[in-house]
């Protein structure tokens, strides 16, 4: 038993006397103390460092700017300011690595990776170390930790950031269950989306998503949401819910995929054109209208968040033909709202119009 306990102890990092905070070494030499305050050990004499972050989830959309609130104070309050270190990082999600976002001491700060040039501390008020993220990307959603470090003491709080979006199932042009996990990631990205998380799929199920084909999720599990249990979908005896096949091999197993697209800054519209178009002609027609042919994720987002309601079938960027219905009516498909699909017709067919996307 003693030998078993010894092995993990040997694997722990050795700091040789330097304090270690979440991947960063900090020196506590006299040159690194706040000059003139003379109270380097106040926190050891009954003073408590408190970090405050919001309990509720923050919601925003792709391309926007957002402020992640974080403030700190001392209990009891101190009479003079102290020099603290601030660190923001994004926690790991579904196997993705932890990401450093920003570290700051006073007016000096450093940002990391994809966050460079997009993040800064607000610091508009005393003890305000809120983080502003500009030009939000699909991969920015998740949980962020704000850490305040004063000498040997550190406290932190969590901020959860969620993008407003819509989950949609995606099937390969070659048919059902043709995508491994990596191909699922690629097709979602091509359609202006990312692979959905379980939480996003579960929320979509709560809002009424009912889909019988199993699809990849962000954690490489395969699941599908059922509102109305029926024979082809696990049998009528099972309760409604999100059914799971569990984790699958990312390269060998093949399914559909659930994608997640966020609300848009631009506009999706059906192009009024005097005649129906081939797929190539559809792309060219959007370009002539100072736009691009819309992606599947953009059409779903326009249907979900901008109320796009149109009974005309139109080409999209992946070669599929679809149309969005917010208010179902006769001669326009099933009685439920949704984005209808004609699949992937012959690209030379002249039976359809086109949906275009124009940025604001």
Specify the CATH number for the domain of residue 355. 3.10.100.10
Buried-state track 238-262, b at ≥16 Cβ within 10 A, e below 16: eeeebbeeeebeeeebbbbbbbbbb
Q: For residue 32, tell me if it sits in a domain.
A: no
Q: How many domains does the chain have?
A: 3
d(C-alpha 162, C-alpha 90), whole Å: 13
Q: Report CA Rg, the chain.
A: 26
Residue 104, domain extent = 48-163
* First-to-final CA distance of the chain: 66
Q: For residue 20, tell me if it sits in a domain.
A: no
d(C-alpha 181, C-alpha 249), whole Å: 8
Tokens, residue 332: 């326009």
The answer to whether the beta carbons of residues 40 and 151 sit under 8 Å apart is yes
Mean pLDDT, range 41-62, rounded to an integer? 82
Are both 95 and 146 inside the same structural domain?
yes
Q: For residue 27, tell me if it sits in a domain.
A: no
β-partners of residue 153 are 150
Are both 221 and 281 inside the same structural domain?
no
- Pick from 119, 147, 163: which residue ends a domain? 163
Closest CA to 178 of 141, 206, 216, 148: 216
CATH code (residue 156): 2.60.40.10
Q: Is 73 left (phi over 0), alpha (psi -120 to 50) or beta?
A: beta
Mean pLDDT, range 229-248, rounded to an integer? 90
Q: For residue 225, tell me if it sits in a domain.
A: yes
Lowest mean pLDDT among 160-164, 168-172, 345-349: 160-164
pLDDT digits (tens, 9 = 90+) for 286-308: 999 999 999 999 999 999 999 99
Are both 173 and 110 inside the same structural domain?
no
Closest CA to 358 of 300, 292, 307: 292
Mean pLDDT, range 67-71, rounded to an integer? 96
The answer to whether the beta carbons of residues 151 and 130 sit under 8 Å apart is no
d(C-alpha 68, C-alpha 91), whole Å: 14
Are both 246 and 256 inside the same structural domain?
yes
Q: For residue 39, tell me if it sits in a domain.
A: no
Are both 169 and 217 inside the same structural domain?
yes
Mean pLDDT, range 146-151, rounded to an integer? 94
Q: Would you state the pLDDT for residue 95?
A: 64
d(C-alpha 326, C-alpha 303), whole Å: 7
Q: For residue 313, tell me if it sits in a domain.
A: yes
pLDDT greater at residue 58 or residue 123: 58
d(C-alpha 344, C-alpha 318), whole Å: 8
| Average pLDDT of the residues of the chain | 86
CB atoms within 10 A of CB 11: 6
Are both 180 and 156 inside the same structural domain?
no
Q: Is the pLDDT of residue 31 over 50?
A: no
Distances (CA, A) of 87 to 29, 104, 129, 185, 313: 20, 7, 9, 31, 50
Tokens, residue 1: 């038993």
The answer to whether the beta carbons of residues 148 and 51 sit under 8 Å apart is yes
Q: Is the pLDDT of residue 29 over 60?
A: no
Q: For residue 3, tell me if it sits in a domain.
A: no
Are both 169 and 95 inside the same structural domain?
no
Are both 225 and 182 inside the same structural domain?
yes
Mean pLDDT, range 94-111, rounded to an integer? 87
Are both 200 and 293 inside the same structural domain?
no
- Pick from 144, 163, 182: which residue ends a domain? 163
Reported confidence tier of residue 231, pLDDT bands at 50, 70, 90: confident
Are both 52 and 155 inside the same structural domain?
yes
d(C-alpha 241, C-alpha 225), whole Å: 6
Are both 52 and 159 inside the same structural domain?
yes
Q: For residue 213, tell me if it sits in a domain.
A: yes
- Pick from 210, 238, 261: which residue ends a domain? 261
Are both 60 and 151 inside the same structural domain?
yes
């Amino acid at each position: 038993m003693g030998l078993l306990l010894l092995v993990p102890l040997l694997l722990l990092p050795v700091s040789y006397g330097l304090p270690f905070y979440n991947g960063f070494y900090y020196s506590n030499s006299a040159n690194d103390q706040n000059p003139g305050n003379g109270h380097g050990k106040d926190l050891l004499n009954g003073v408590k460092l408190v970090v405050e972050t919001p309990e509720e989830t923050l919601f925003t959309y792709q391309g926007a700017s957002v402020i992640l609130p974080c403030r700190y104070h001392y209990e009891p309050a101190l009479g003079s300011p102290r020099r603290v270190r601030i660190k923001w990082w994004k926690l790991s999600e579904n196997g993705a690595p932890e990401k450093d976002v920003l570290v700051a001491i006073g007016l000096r700060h450093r940002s990391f990776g994809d966050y460079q040039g997009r993040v800064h501390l607000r610091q508009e008020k005393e003890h305000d170390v809120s983080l502003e993220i500009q030009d939000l990307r699909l991969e920015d959603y998740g949980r962020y930790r704000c850490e305040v470090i004063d000498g040997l003491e550190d406290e932190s709080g969590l901020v959860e950031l969620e993008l407003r979006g819509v989950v949609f199932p995606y099937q390969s042009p070659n048919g059902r269950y043709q995508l491994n996990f990596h191909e699922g990631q690629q097709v979602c990205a091509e359609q202006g989306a990312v692979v959905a998380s379980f939480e996003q799929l579960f929320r979509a199920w709560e809002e009424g998503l009912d889909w019988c084909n199993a699809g990849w999720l962000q954690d490489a599990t395969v699941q599908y949401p059922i509102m109305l249990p029926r024979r082809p979908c696990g049998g009528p005896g099972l309760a409604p819910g999100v059914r799971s096949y569990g984790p699958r091999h990312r390269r060998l197993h093949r399914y559909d995929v659930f994608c997640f697209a966020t609300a848009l800054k631009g506009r999706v519209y059906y192009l009024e054109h005097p005649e129906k178009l081939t797929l190539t002609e559809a792309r060219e027609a959007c370009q002539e209208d100072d736009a691009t042919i819309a992606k599947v994720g953009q059409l779903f987002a326009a249907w979900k968040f901008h109320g796009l309601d149109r009974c005309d079938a139109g080409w999209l960027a992946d070669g599929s033909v679809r149309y969005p219905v917010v208010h179902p009516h006769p001669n326009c498909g099933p009685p439920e709202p949704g984005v209808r699909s004609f699949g992937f017709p012959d690209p030379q067919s002249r039976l359809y119009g086109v949906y275009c996307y124009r940025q604001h």
